[in-house]
Amino acid sequence: MNLKTVLSKETISLHLKGTTKEAIINELLDILVAADKIQDRAAAFSAVMEREQKMSTGMKHGIAIPHGKSATIRDLVACIGVSDSPVDFDSLDDQPCRIFIMTLSPVEKTGPHLQFLAEISLLFKSSEKRAEILTATSPEAILHILAE
């Protein structure tokens, strides 16, 4: 999967303001709504929060990957947000997060969803890539980092 086919400068935000998990999820959903990637915001919010209740999507190294599946989504959509301040996301390593990658996909299409999550996790194992994302000054810079 090519991340650039899923992400665009309209689906990247460099200065998330939320200070809680729910606030960050809402900001990420706002990005997807503004980019016209989702139509039913309430259903998308429910899908992501339902997934969070099963197990936090806060990973390690300051990254969280909130995601969900909804019948209201036709094709996989995704966005990236970077927070200026660390946010507690109930991460596996108990560390706060600053990089957030949200994805939503249709209930019946598992392949693209798993492929996206696998590619994102591989990408962010690199401490250099994480540092570059945190210091990026534009959505275009983030797209460039992801394409390297």
Catalogue the active-site residues.
67
User: How far apart, in whole angstroms, are the C-alpha atoms of residue 47 and residue 38?
Assistant: 12
User: How far apart, in whole angstroms, are the C-alpha atoms of residue 12 and residue 142?
Assistant: 8
Q: Of 90, 2, 101, which Cα lies nearest the Cα of 54?
A: 90
Q: Is 104 left (phi over 0), alpha (psi -120 to 50) or beta?
A: beta
Q: Which residues pair with 13 in a beta bridge?
A: 81
Q: Are 70 and 44 in contact (CB under 8 A)?
A: yes
